[in-house]
Amino acid sequence: MAKKQRAQSNSTDRSTAKFSDQTVPIGEGGETHQISGKKTPVLTTQQGTPVSDDQNSLKIGTRGPTLLEDFHFREKIFHFDHERIPERVVHARGFGAHGYFENYKSLADITQADLFQRAGDKTPAFVRFSTVAGNKGSFDLARDVRGFAVKLYTKEGNWDIVGNNIPVFFIQDAMKFPDLVHAAKAEPDRGFPQAQTAHDNFWDFISLTPESMNMIMWIMSDRAIPRSFRFMEGFGVHTFRLINGEGKSTFVKFHWKPKQGLQSVVWNEAMKINGADPDFHRRDLWDAIQQGDSPEWELGLQLFDDNFAEQFDFDVLDATKIIPEELVPVQRVGRLVLDRCVDNFFAETEQVAFCTQNIVPGIDFSNDPLLQGRNFSYLDTQLKRLGSPNFTHIPINAPKCPFSHFQQDGHMAMHNPQGRANYEPNSWEGEAGGPRESPEKGFNSYPAVEEGAKLRVRSETFADHYSQARQFYLSQTDVEQRHIAAALIFELSKVERLKIRTRMVSHLLNIHEELAEQVAKGLRVKKMPEAADAAKPTRDDLEPSPALSILLNCLETFKGRKLGVLITDGVDMAVFKALKAAVKAEGAIMAIVAPGVGGVKASDGTWIEADEKIDGGPSVLYDAVALLPSEEGAKSLMKEAAARDFVADAFAHMKFIGYVEAVTPLLRKAGINEGDQDGGFIEIDGPKAASKFIEICRQLRFWDRADDGMKE
């Protein structure tokens, strides 16, 4: 009887408790209990019912059938069966981070956009980087375009700059977007290759689409295999408009310039990174932010008027073309800082919805036909992926400014408009009548005057498909040009049909004859084809643009880069400490690689913890390496294939190699003879040598070693 009364008392206490209308975040509030002396939340169902046993389903007896009344099991398995949403058709594999945009100065003379009005204003931001062709489970270092999408939570609504790390695109009209993506994705009959364009369908489409040739030069360059999200540029791709308070329009192209400089890997290295760490780019960004090394980009604007647009050699509405920075300089107007990782990948990175149509007063579209198509497509795809027109109710997509509208109901409506009226116009006054439009503050489209017949045509101003492709190729250093040729040979070598390979060579002849000959030789094409028919002849008077080269835009710094240090028992502690101090002073990262992940005992008896076991931390994961084994340790490493690969790959990938004399036998075993020890090898025999080594590492690669086309 006493037990029954006590139970009734507890029930009464709970039923009379007061609850707020505010949702309590999962894991916060509620009852707690003691586990190992610490307060821990009590596990509950989604309805808040405490759970007594989360290990076993409810049965009749110990070996009897499971009961249908087990609501906890039913709810748990029900949610599990439905917890996946459709992945993005493109840009499926992505990684995001939070940060802010800080404006440098007022831009009121060219735009009324609120975030550009005051110097020092900070606007919250979320950025998602991605690859295009692969699925969510593909690897990071695919040769591919990288998405660079920025959501700015301005005081006048969300503005999405949905761009890439390459400033041009494959096609000129959105009508061809489904065909492009279908061709690039896995071939439909066999379901492979995944996250690769090295197959017949892609190159068949490309070889029949001359407008893609400029983009092909970009994706065959090292731009398509970046070292890190932190070391790549971003571009808005399209031409947009900025509108000031007087209604004046200025054309603009958006650029994100990394303050860390540009850097890529080489192809042989990329393939090995994918095997060693398929999450290489994700891990790099996560680690950098967690360690306080917040990556930054500066927002650059290329500004030009109608007069320039009319006189420019190419059409500013053509997404397959750039405006060289030498013609229209990039003005840096603010900085983007990423300083916080997501709390939950699915809730934020996976559910974030970017739409090119999301602009704010002071920003407007141009007539770029690819942009116009994207404006339709992006909104449409959110309904498919997120299941409801209410995707802005998801916190990552919700504006951070006040918002009011009459849109209501639908799946997952978290907050319907309050009040009596749910239509407009209405005659109700005050709050009962709801929000009203504001001609003064509201968004107004630029009143461009358009005229002409309805036609399915392509403008003649879009017809030059080869000149800028040639300009891009000529803007690269010798090393980068060799990489483009090698990439084309590799990709086309995977194409089974000879006529597709030959057709691509015919296009290359319109870009650069020497490049075409290199590719034909690499493919063993028996008979050189004629150059492809060109709608317009290739111009050879376009000056090279140094801004298009990665190697001409590297910053000489090792800050934010990673040094892999191979050590064994008996490592010279004085040398190790000197190198560690030099790395720290540079602002770089030092990863310790050892025969066992537990660590090693140094020459003075000190125990050094390791970050990676030798076969789990290959040299492809690092920007430079230091080889510091003891004599006995080097002899032992000679027997390890992973150790030999560590050294051989670092050499083949033109990395700077710091070493101690004791490592010489391992070098020889790895195939590096005394005559091969070039200027990229620096002996570390003390503090001064350690500092010198890190200073030299600022050059990132010893490209002089690549005298035979990269030894791939």
CA 526, 528, 533 angle in degrees (round to 5)?
A: 145
**Paired residues of 241 in beta bridges:** 251, 364
Three-class SS of residue 456?
Answer: coil
Three-class SS of residue 61? coil
Omega prior to 193 cis, within 30 of 0: yes
3-class secondary structure per residue, 213-261: HHHHHHHCCHHHCECCHHHCCEECCCCEEEECCCCCEEEEEEEEEECCC
- Show the tokens assigned to 516: 């075409």
Unique residue bearing structure tokens 């990439």: 487
- CB burial class (10 A; 0-12, 13-18, 19+) of residue 444? middle
The SS3 call for residue 116 is helix
Quote the CA–CA distance of 669 and 643 in Å, as a whole number: 10
User: Which residue pairs from 409-415 have beta carbons closer than 8 angstroms and sit at least 24 positions apart in sequence?
Assistant: 411/387, 412/387, 412/388, 413/388, 414/390
In eight-state DSSP terms, residue 440 is: T
- CA pair distance 593, 289, nearest whole angstrom: 23
Asked whether the bond before 124 is cis by omega within 30 degrees of 0, the reply is no
Burial (Cβ within 10 Å: 0-12, 13-18, ≥19) of residue 191:
exposed
Query: What residues have CB less than 8 Å from 597, skipping those under 6 apart?
Result: 610, 611, 612, 613, 616
The rounded distance, in Å, linking the Cα atoms of 563 and 572 is: 18
Residue the block writes with tokens 């803007």? 475
Q: Are strands 589-594 and 612-613 parallel, antiparallel or unpaired?
A: parallel
Amino acid in the structure at residue 417 = P
Return the active site residues.
91, 164
CA-CA distance, 578 to 289, in Å (whole number)?
26
- Strands 612-613, 562-566: pairing is unpaired
Closest CA to 230 of 184, 264, 199, 194: 264
Measured distance CA(197)–CA(219) in Å, rounded: 10
Q: Identify which of 251, 222, 216 has the alpha carbon closest to the alpha carbon of residue 236.
A: 251
Q: Is 619 in contact with 649 (CB distance < 8 Å)?
A: yes
> For residue 355, which of 211, 152, 177, 504 has the smallest C-alpha distance?
152
| Inter-residue contact 666 to 637 (CB < 8 Å) | yes
**Residue in the structure block whose two tokens are 């090279």:** 544
| Cα(526)–Cα(246) distance, integer angstroms | 64
Q: Classify 579 as helix, strand or coil.
A: helix
Query: What is the C-alpha separation between 351 and 440, in angstroms, rounded?
Result: 34
Position 333, amino acid: V
Which residue matches tokens 């916190």? 395
